[in-house]
A and B are shown apart, each in its own frame.
Chain A
């Protein structure tokens, strides 16, 4: 497999490296000078003070509905805490054990928005009690630490995995409770899309986070977030749609007029959030993509690289799913009932939430784009070479990946959209005409230009290069044929990795990631310093306002600070700048 010929930068043959014990940095280019082999440093030698539990680096992933904790270097979190109303009761309040407790959900949920008890925070922080959020975080963390991590309350370094669009007040609340209540000496922040990409083994990826409050599509390129698109179509909407579906089919609801149903705001919830949430995770699935419904003739310019999809598979489905019904027990309905629903109807919530194909694509606002459209637009917004890389590194994460068939459906819809439209931001009848009219088409850029075409045109022979010279920038046409390719040192570096096999790009491909938590665990285990590492003293002195821009902070000082090589440097570092990374205010 590993053919170690060619470039001077040979990768040490893996099996040999394994035999020679330390993860050998033995072979480098002759110019790189002498070096010490890397040696895994055990805590006994690394930590000057045993008072601090230096080794246990705790990774915390904050989600809207749950919190995951574990130690760095583990493959999976050791435990997760789900937020719920029972988590917010007083200590010593044992009403959850009363027999009629769960029947009393109407009373319990009264006066609050449906299901908001199950969330840690809302990203709309107007009217949000930050102190309460802090309390929730503290209690959940304490619970997680003592139940799952089984650690004492000595201060420990913490790594947080956070969605990159977390508002600063929420971030600051989380940091406050970590520093004040848990006395952590430092907290490092990782953004979850980047961590997901790392956990898939990738430097670049298109991370589709099918989360609870919203679906976020983030393009990560070379470990940097380059683009981010969001839509409110997420888990919460899915559960609400499930509720609407079930409520519509309740026996007593059928008699009621449709008018009452249409005004959903005024409508009381007929079922408890817990039950709808459960049914959503248990029964809701997603229809496979039907190519037949929107048939488009395969145009000549269609992407040659797009994967072929098994349409037979989809057909097999519809034939078998004729009259199957699903029986769902509803305990929180009044009176409790068994609901018989056609099995196919259980796709409706998913359909309405993520695709909403009833409406035309132009009718959506920016915040409520259907997911596949959002993915397509996110890809479209990317520069050509970044797009080529990202589209073959699609990662699905988030709670809604559990909906059966949803990932494939989104993937297929996006593939289809690309096939149909190419990478043309302009759409509509006029473009259709333009595309069909060959005369007009000749001089201009081809509508169906796929990234691979472009890359091959641009980079010439170096198909694997990161975008080559760029033949057409800002509408200025460069003479690619007569240009001598300039040797770009950065390009060389980038290319180095792909010396053996070219990087996969330009085709749609979905990858499996181990998840953001695992990614952060991996990064921290490899002792890679985070850009945003916050010291306790500095935070307590300055708060979020003291953070500087990520670009102003010299990562070298940060590293030294986090390595803590002696008091001298630490003292100097106290005055140095620190940053909140992508979360910081500009």
Chain B
């Protein structure tokens, strides 16, 4: 395992079960003294619960709505699409194309089906060797003849699946017409003609004619189109009585159908009854391949033999398989899709640039530049500039054992960590912390926050501080007094817009036999299963409540702080976060 650096995750308030149902805003300033009350205490956040994985985010992923004064996570923003583009050729795709041509790039951008590298179109004829054909004009001649797609990373080329292209551009359209092995797909028209030929001329070859009726060679796309045409025909035919399916057409009062319906109401339903009786409202089933019927070809012995001969290496891994797009030009593959010979170049999935809105007040909180090449954002309200960031580092007091490896924590041995809260806003904030005394989960570590309540100064201009008199003693580093002990109720250190404090942890022992001994006797059955993934991680849930005063009128938080008190209002933000301190050693 790689050494673990301490980390923090924040929980977006939208995931709390109480707010999930009604996403109403939690009005600010309600009950200033109300700490996480008894109810909250009972269901303290458990970072190990599998559900918590869905609500925790690193600070960088979170946005912030200024108007609602609330954190917004990727789950609780409304998205709007700015542009669609291909990540390979960076061409913008109009949204109308998306509907007709699907979600993949229809130019010549393809991914290698084996290694997902980009494919390039190259001429199949290799460069004429200058030593053999010493004609300089020969090399100047542009490539001609068949082309193929090659992967420069793994050397896969489309000739492996028997596909060559006539032209070097419009590969997507060419590929759509080719089957693996190089045979061209029949268009719907050709299908029909071929079938007619077979039925008319094929006196002796009834076998092939039957195959045509059965639709053995019907590919997915054609089968779908045939079925759709068949159903549409049937619906138009059978629903003429207005039995609901056609009622789309009946909405207007000018339509004779609704006229007769109204008439039937006034004439006591006689007319209607008669009509409905005479209606012939049943669709029939598809009967031949023209109507989308396809008899399954159950004989897969060829594939079985192929598998036997070519073995494991001729098959496709699940990852490669999941990257494949459904091959509409082929009959349903079922098991045959497992062979490398059935791989197809994967056209690049299009991507989007999205602007994000607050779902409640509809204000834009993130808006990227519309140009595909630009990576900048026009608007981007990241939560990192509104809520205090937390950084963690181990506190190496002199008496601590210097020889101990820093990346694992020794069980049952108290460790101290330094939490540094940094205030990004231009107001001084009051922070209140709360942690459960024991971390939830099977292995409960003891946690003590030495100073759960403190104030961080505003994020003023750096020069302001330097130009002012610097002898405010509260800002003076405490470390100047020499090495000191962490004291309860006192912060460790303080800077211009940051405060650090000490948290003391006694990591739990991970021994399963101890678990059975230490658990309360009257409690429920002790789970003595093996150590699960990440159960050796020491993660502390911490409830953070931030309070500050801001101008009530102006929307901007960063206006001048020296205003009269009447115009100011109290604001509050409260959320859970998770501090990952390190792994407990399992010795």
Contacts and interface: CB of A to CB of B under 8 A. Distances in A.
A169 interface: no
Interface in B233-272: 233, 235-237, 239-242, 244-251, 255-257, 259-260, 271
A90 B349 contact: no
A204 B242 CA distance: 24
B168 interface: no
Nearest to A197: B285
Contact of B246 (A38, A131, A135): A38
B: interface residue count bin: 35 or more
Nearest to B310: A326
Contacts of A132: 50-51
Interface stretch (A106-114, A244-252, A296-304): A106-114
Residue from B102, B249, B326, B334 with most neighbouring chain A CB atoms (10 Å): B326
B212 to A, nearest CB: 12
Contact of A201 (B21, B240, B286): B286
B249 A38 contact: yes
Contact of A147 (B260, B286, B301, B349): B349
B221 A75 contact: yes
Contact of B275 (A32, A82, A493): A32
Interface string B49-67: 0110110111011000000
Nearest to A274: B318
A512 B307 contact: no
B282 interface: yes
Given A494-B282, A501-B287, A110 B315 contact: no
A73 to B, nearest CB: 8
A29 B277 CA distance: 12
Interface stretch (B77-85, B461-469, B514-522): B77-85
Given A23-B232, A110-B530, A201-B292, A92 B248 contact: no
Contact of A396 (B2, B285, B296): B296
A107 B335 CA distance: 33
B237 A12 contact: yes
A112 B532 contact: yes
A282 B317 contact: yes
B321 A281 contact: yes
B533 A110 contact: yes
A92 B580 CA distance: 13
B74 A404 contact: no
A107 B535 CA distance: 10
Contacts of A403: 335
A14 B230 CA distance: 10
B304 interface: yes
B44 to A, nearest CB: 17
Contact of A11 (B237, B281, B292): B237
A142 B75 CA distance: 9
Contacts of A497: 282-285
Residue from B230, B241, B303 with most neighbouring chain A CB atoms (10 Å): B241
Interface string A291-332: 000000000000000000010010011001100101111000
A283 B328 CA distance: 24
B338 A282 contact: yes
Interface string B80-104: 1100100000000000001100110
A45 B336 CA distance: 45
B295 interface: yes
A35 B303 CA distance: 53
Contacts of A146: 79, 352, 354
Given A34-B257, A38-B249, A559-B247, A129 B326 contact: no
A281 B316 CA distance: 9
Contact of A89 (B53, B237, B280, B326): B53
A36 B2 contact: no
Contact of A277 (B103, B316, B318, B326): B318
A445 interface: no
A305 to B, nearest CB: 15
A: interface residue count bin: 35 or more
Contacts of B315: 282-283
A429 interface: no
Contacts of B1: 100, 104
B227 interface: yes
Given A202-B285, A324-B308, A525-B228, A1 B199 contact: yes
A90 B78 contact: no
Contact of A88 (B53, B235, B331, B332): B53
A334 interface: no
A536 B220 CA distance: 35
A548 to B, nearest CB: 20
Contacts of A148: 103, 349
Interface string B283-300: 111110001111111111
Contact of B248 (A9, A75, A131, A563): A563
B236 to A, nearest CB: 4
Contact of B103 (A36, A150, A201, A396): A150
B322 interface: yes
Interface stretch (A258-266, A379-387, A417-425, A526-534): A526-534
Interface in A84-127: 88-92, 98, 100, 104, 107-112
Contacts of B199: 1
Contacts of A494: 282
B474 interface: no
B335 A402 contact: yes
Contacts of A316: 301
A411 interface: yes
A402 B334 contact: yes
B337 interface: yes
Contacts of A100: 1
B400 interface: no
Contacts of B227: 199, 201, 514, 522
Nearest to A10: B237
Contact of A9 (B80, B257, B280, B308): B280
A288 B301 contact: yes
Contacts of A498: 284
A75 B328 contact: yes
B354 A152 contact: yes
B20 interface: yes
B177 to A, nearest CB: 16
B439 interface: no
Contacts of B326: 76-77
Contacts of A405: 300-301, 303-304, 335
B274 interface: yes
A98 B2 contact: yes
Contact of B235 (A38, A76, A112, A313): A38
A396 B298 CA distance: 10
Interface in A335-349: 343
A24 B293 CA distance: 23
A522 to B, nearest CB: 6
B299 A313 contact: yes
Nearest to A408: B298
Contacts of A131: 17, 51
Nearest to B232: A23
Interface in A137-189: 138-139, 142, 146-153, 180-181
Nearest to A489: B277
A230 to B, nearest CB: 22
A407 B296 contact: yes
Interface stretch (A366-374, A479-487, A503-511): A503-511
A224 B365 CA distance: 49
B531 interface: yes
Nearest to B315: A282
19 contacts: A33-B256, A34-B259, A38-B236, A109-B533, A132-B51, A135-B51, A150-B98, A199-B227, A200-B293, A281-B318, A316-B301, A317-B305, A329-B312, A401-B335, A406-B335, A498-B284, A510-B296, A522-B227, A527-B248
Given A33-B275, A328-B312, 16 more contacts: A14-B233, A31-B278, A36-B256, A37-B249, A38-B248, A75-B221, A100-B1, A111-B532, A152-B78, A201-B286, A282-B317, A402-B335, A402-B338, A404-B300, A494-B282, A528-B245
